[in-house]
Structure 1
Amino acid sequence: MTFAKKAFVFSVLTAMTAGAAATAQSALNGAGASFPSPFYQRAFSDLASGGGPRVNYQSVGSGAGVRQFIAGTVDFGATDEPISSADAAKVKRGVVQLPTVGGTIAIAYNKPGCALKLTQKQAAEIFLGVINDWKQLKCAPGKITVVHRSDGSGTTFAFTNSLSAFSPTWKSRVGEGKSVKWPVGVGGKGNEGVAGVLQNTSGSIGYLNQAFVKGSIKAAALQNKAGKFVMPNLKSGAAALNNIRLDSNLAGEDPNPAGADSYPISTLTWVLAYKSGNGAKAPRIRQAIAFLLSPKAQDKADDLGYVPLRGTVLNSAKKAVGNIGS
């Protein structure tokens, strides 16, 4: 190869490497809750396809997402439990917290031939280990394998928060949190991990976002506060989320909402952005988060197993995007 050709090849490779580095550098990085991951991945893919910024979202769980956000190693975090005031105080750049989508947390199971309807008391007793055989639930007999999250999780917080509302025994023995001391069961990392254990374990039962209920995994009908047995879906989730009133930090929850149509374990999920210190990335961060709230993304939420935001909650979230400064 002549010197000229070598120089040409070197220049092409240098340009390609520089281009790849520039592309990687220009991508935004987010991390956190696994609950909304399918929604985020689809929305961010659509955003990039339309010429918007590329976003790398890592589904690592709410606990890890909040830790990375506090450490400043991501452009935004994501959590299914609103950030605590103590954690927010650690973020010197300031916190912009806003809901992005809603969803229902299914009590999901793999037990062929069983159509499960659970009272709130039964739901708590399964995860307490009091109910440990499927015959106690009027299904074919066999050991119940409980599956729970092994990582710090906002899904776990929302689920255990509801169990505490359902059962005084659960509240006193276990309580609620992103991580709890489970009386029984095996763990899976992320909603993905729990779904994997459920898919591969006949006779298992666990909790996960409705979006992960597929294949051999079925969702139980769960008794709500009004005494009705309801399935986790768009209608029941929307009815439940209508009970949530957001505070000044756009946080809010209702672990056992009223209403005959409400599914009792329904939650919002939040993005955490920085008020300042975003530099030249600020416009792209605002664009990416605003896209999650756009009709193009929200209109696909139901098909992906989520509850789209509407009304005051959506308007408040859109307004908060403007607080993400450079």
Structure 2
Amino acid sequence: MTIRSILFTSLSTLVCVLSLGCGSAANKDFVKLQGAGASFPAPLYNKWLKEYSAAHDDVQIDYQSVGSGQGVKSVIDHTVDFGASDAAMKPSEMEQVDGGVQLLPMTAGSVVLAYNLEGVDGLKLSREAYVNILLGKITQWNDPAIVATNDGVELPDLPINVVVRSDSSGTTYVFTKHLAEINSEFAESVGVEKAPNWPVGTKSKGNEGVTASITTTPGSIGYIEFGYAKGAKLEMASLENKAGNFIKPSIESAQSAMAAVQMPDDLIAWLPDPEGDEAYPIVTYTWIICYRSYSDAKKVEALKAMLNYCLTDGQASSEQLGYIPLPATVVEKVKAALDNITVSEPGPAA
């Protein structure tokens, strides 16, 4: 064999290796899906997608935790195969997507006020207290409004360091939706926004960033998804609910809040101030956003199979990571909505 033929054979072998099989069926059928969006459900989504990809070597699924606002923008810009948002999508945003979108609630969870205050366990915050902390009206941990609901607790004469999100966030949207629902001043001055102009607060990016800031800064309080606080072993305040009871964040209290929710046909349901004596006051669904039409049939097949896994076997992972498994009635509605995701018909020949 000549040196030229040896080099040609070696180069051909290298090309085959890099292309995952040199024309094999596995390479031909390989599908890659790219998603991006909400940080709120990211730990659960990443677990689902890792498990699914491991069991299906013909599919690679990547998800970037970039915040709900960026997730929605990525869908509008067609730079992802699916997005994710805790703020769902506004009609005006949906109208910007040719062919339309299908929103699919995949899990649910609580937004909690986690805090770092040495020696203070079981903090209780009234509605007056936690709204005014976020409005910048309560600035010390021993403020009378906090002392009033924490008999026997030694609250320090220490400034409150409020941590808020710096990015466009569905967690923020859900949190401000609740605060605006229970307080007219907050509704008028801050409003319901993914990226509001907070009157107070140190800013951090993502649920991950806020969690890290609270963990490393004594005297801090901030809003994050329950699973992040649980994973970081942060203390979480019990919040006064609509019935006037102080409710500790838990899977059970979140399920109590969501028990009476009826899922509408568009699969977008909100609970800004849930009813129920044992209901935790700040809970939400979170959505994966798909296009209603894709040009690649293999992507549609892979996407639907992945989503079906998340809605069935994947739900078993929810509670251990601090999320709420979807009720069976909601799962059936979402699975039926998968039929709305189709392959686009090719255009007429030129």
Shorter-chain-normalised TM-score: which range?
Answer: over 0.9
Does the alignment pair 1:170 with 2:177? no
CA shift for structure 1 position 46: 1.0
- Tell whether the 8 Å contact from 2:116 to 2:218 is kept in structure 1 after alignment: yes
Q: Which amino acid aligns with 1:173?
A: S
Does the alignment pair 1:46 with 2:63? no
**Structure 2 equivalent of residue 32 of structure 1:** 37
Between the aligned partners of 2:166 and 2:323, the Cα distance in structure 1 is 23
Task: Return 48-57 or 138-147, whichever deviates more.
Answer: 48-57
**Structure 2 equivalent of residue 97 of structure 1:** 103
What secondary structure is seen at the aligned counterpart in 1 of 2:319?
A: coil
- Tell whether the 8 Å contact from 1:61 to 1:153 is kept in structure 2 after alignment: yes
Q: Which runs of 5+ in 2 are unaligned?
A: 148-154, 344-350
1:1-326 correspondence runs (5 A) = 2-19=3-20, 26-51=31-56, 53-115=59-121, 116-136=123-143, 137-138=146-147, 139-213=155-229, 214-215=231-232, 217-280=234-297, 281-294=299-312, 296-326=313-343
RMSD: 1.9
What secondary structure is seen at the aligned counterpart in 2 of 1:78?
A: strand
Q: Percent identity?
A: 36
Q: Which runs of 5+ in 1 are unaligned?
A: none
Between the aligned partners of 1:72 and 1:80, the Cα distance in structure 2 is 19
1:237-293 CA-partner distances (Å, limit 9, x unpaired): 111122333332110101110001111000000011011124221101111111111
What secondary structure is seen at the aligned counterpart in 2 of 1:49?
A: helix
CA shift for structure 1 position 231: 1.6
- Tell whether the 8 Å contact from 1:81 to 1:154 is kept in structure 2 after alignment: yes
CA shift for structure 1 position 25: 7.1
CA gap 1:168/1:149 in 2 versus in 1, 3 angstroms = same
Between the aligned partners of 2:21 and 2:114, the Cα distance in structure 1 is 42
Q: Which amino acid aligns with 1:319?
A: A
1:122-163 CA-partner distances (Å, limit 9, x unpaired): 110111111111112342221111001111111101000111
What secondary structure is seen at the aligned counterpart in 2 of 1:303?
A: helix
- Tell whether the 8 Å contact from 1:210 to 1:232 is kept in structure 2 after alignment: yes
Q: Which amino acid aligns with 1:38?
A: P
- Tell whether the 8 Å contact from 2:211 to 2:232 is kept in structure 1 after alignment: no
Q: Which amino acid aligns with 1:309?
A: L
Between the aligned partners of 1:233 and 1:35, the Cα distance in structure 2 is 16
CA gap 1:112/1:282 in 2 versus in 1, 3 angstroms = same
**Structure 1 equivalent of residue 150 of structure 2:** none
Between the aligned partners of 1:272 and 1:118, the Cα distance in structure 2 is 35
Task: Return 238-247 or 163-172, whichever deviates more.
Answer: 238-247
**Structure 1 equivalent of residue 346 of structure 2:** none
Q: Which amino acid aligns with 1:285?
A: L
CA shift for structure 1 position 24: 12
Between the aligned partners of 1:246 and 1:81, the Cα distance in structure 2 is 16
Number of residues paired by the alignment?
Answer: 325
CA shift for structure 1 position 12: 2.3
Between the aligned partners of 2:217 and 2:30, the Cα distance in structure 1 is 42
Between the aligned partners of 1:20 and 1:176, the Cα distance in structure 2 is 52
Q: Which amino acid aligns with 2:34?
A: N
